[in-house]
Structure 1
Amino acid sequence: MVSAAAAAALAAALLCAPGAPACARLDAVACEPAQARRGLLRSPGTAWLIGLGSVLGLLLGGPGGAVAGALVIGVWRHRRTRRRAEQAGAAAGAELADALARMTDELRAGAHPSAALAGIDGDGPLARAALGPAAAAARLGDQIPAALGRSGTHPALAADLARVAGAWALADRHGAPLADLLAGAHSDIRWRVAYGKQVRAQLAGPRATATVLTALPMLGLGLGHLLGADPLAVLRAGVLGQLLLITGVGLAAAGVLWTEHILRSAVPR
């Protein structure tokens, strides 16, 4: 019983541990998009945490506990990575909107489009990464819309950059005012970022409710121990108990993923 409590305390301490110092310093500007591109299971830190969860689950609940521990850590890591990716995407959209607003003001003041693109040094890092290829194409006399389509940046900016590229191509082909087209793109991106922030704030309550409901089975196990029923012994003993443990944790994990999918689909992209 003492070893099980120690293992549970160690797991809780690891889950509450802060992230890597590099990610904290860069505030998810470079680290989080890179993690999203690598994928969840390809991250060495994630694999290490899942392995640790399996070991702790094996100590607490036997072979079935090992599978359950891996599921719990995997779902927790997936949820945390997705949440950080959403925050990084919102920050990237806000930076791109600020950059488009600056370019629109410069164009309306009489600046050349190449000169407006050359001013990206004063924009945010994600906006610089998104508009950098277009600025380089403008210096070399290349096609700016094509360069905007080649920008390898945060995935959340792909649709916004496609719209900017379309506006730029329309201005090049038909002589439409580029400032007005970029102003429309800026207004749309700004609205999407603000509305997404508002929706995420309103979804904080449902997310908290879903978290509490997911944790209720753990509360039931604790109450069972207080009443002297020893539910962990039932789950550890025999094939049926192991199957019940895996099935219960698997259903809870599926519920968490499905809830996150529903809540995430409500946020505009």
Structure 2
Amino acid sequence: MTTAVACAALAAAIGCAPPPRGVARFAALWPARRARHRSGPHLIGPVVAGALGGAALAGVGGALAGALVALVVRHRRAVHRAARLRDTAAEQLAAAVARITDELRAGSHPAAALSGIDADGPHARSVLAPAAVAARLGDGIVPALRRGGAGRPEIGGDVERIATAWILAERHGIPLADLLGRAHEDIRWRVRFASTVRAQLAGPRATAAVLTTLPVLGIGLGQLIGAHPIGVLRGGPLGQALLVIGVALLAAGSAWSERIIGSAVPR
């Protein structure tokens, strides 16, 4: 029994041990595809909580309305989180490209410039790591760059700009530092322009939020003056249907306004 436990512990330790450095270098050339973000468990929880809360307040119609509200809130949070992730990743990639450009202009070899990814941010490091390994091993840098950006759709266009700059430098002899400098300026300008547009859209977003909450305020005002709209919505199939339809219209209006405002921000 003791021998079996010891063997199992040894096997677990071997399985958890990091791979040899050489294996890790070759593995970085072909990074495993990132697993798609499974939003199922993260989505089911808020929807169930919203449905239960709505059912406790207004029965079956309240359950449907609560689930719909939870879906809308979850979607808006996911959109805002994706926008922040896109900006952060683009900023880090632009800083990494600026570093590589400065090292190339100082006389460094492209492989040496790529090897300094430890000083870059985590998003840029994950994208440039395959290219750094490919440069050390003499493999193609452009395919490695594209592999590094394959699982990052939020900065896929920026990675393609860098890969295009590398192709032009290899095929036509254009100084790589100049091309990467242009790519850096383009990425940085896009991020700053997007931030400026979002700041200028704060007013329309606030207006859309106020318009979305006006029906809820109207229900509260009607309850205060004695019209009892909450009792109407809670009692009978007609009130339940009106509750679901009203929340559905609010959700559609919120999604449509968010789509209109978000289309003004450059991707």
Choose 230-239 or 126-135, whichever is displaced more. Answer: 230-239
Distance in 1, matches of 2:223 and 2:132, equals: 65
Of 96, 101, 108 in structure 1, the residue corresponding to residue 98 of structure 2 is 101
Instruction: Note the C-alpha offset of 1:46.
Output: 2.7
Q: Aligned residue for 1:256?
A: 254
Partner-residue secondary structure (3-state), 2:70: helix
Query: Aligned-pair distance for 1:45?
Result: 3.2
Q: CA deviation at 1:154?
A: 3.4
> What is the deviation of 1:237?
2.1
1:74 match: secondary structure? helix
Cα distance in 2, alignment partners of residues 70 and 138 from structure 1: 51
Is 2:127 aligned against 1:133?
Answer: no
Following superposition, which runs of at least 4 residues in structure 1 exceed 3 angstroms of deviation? none
Structure 1 partner of 2:26:
none
2:158 corresponds to: 160
1:184 is matched with: 182
Determine the structure 2 residue equivalent to 1:46.
43
Report the CA distance between 1:155 and its aligned residue: 2.0
8 Å Cα contact 1:129-1:153 kept in structure 2: no
Residues 178-199 of structure 1: CA deviation (Å, up to 9, x unaligned): 1111011000000000000111
What residue ranges of structure 1 are gaps of 5+ in the alignment?
1-33
Q: Is the 8 A contact 1:138 1:144 kept in 2?
A: yes
Which of residues 121, 124, 135 is equivalent to 2:121? Answer: 124
Which letter does structure 2 place at the counterpart of 1:38?
A: H
| Mapped pair 1:110 → 2:107 | yes
Q: Compute the displacement of 1:39 (Å).
A: 5.4
2:73 is paired with a residue of what secondary structure? helix
Structure 1 residues 87-135: Cα deviation after superposition (integer angstroms, max 9, x where no partner): 1110111111111111111101110001110011101111101111111
Equivalent residue for 2:214? Answer: 216
CA distance in 1 between counterparts of 2:261 and 2:153 reads 19
For residues 124 and 153 of structure 1, the distance between their equivalents in structure 2, rounded to whole angstroms, comes to 17
How far 1:262 moved relative to its partner?
1.2
Q: Which residue of 1 aligns with 2:173?
A: 175
Identity of aligned residues (%): 58
Distance 2:133 2:222 in 1: 66
Mapped contact 1:89–1:154 kept (Cα < 8 A): no
Q: What residue ranges of structure 2 are gaps of 5+ in the alignment?
A: 1-33
Matching of residues 23-62 of structure 1 within 5 Å? 37-38=36-37, 40=39, 42=40, 44-62=41-59
- Superposed CA RMSD in Å reads 1.5
Matches within 5 A, 1:239-254: 239-254=237-252
- Whether contact under 8 Å (1:71, 1:250) holds in the other structure is yes
Give the structure with higher Rg (CA). 2
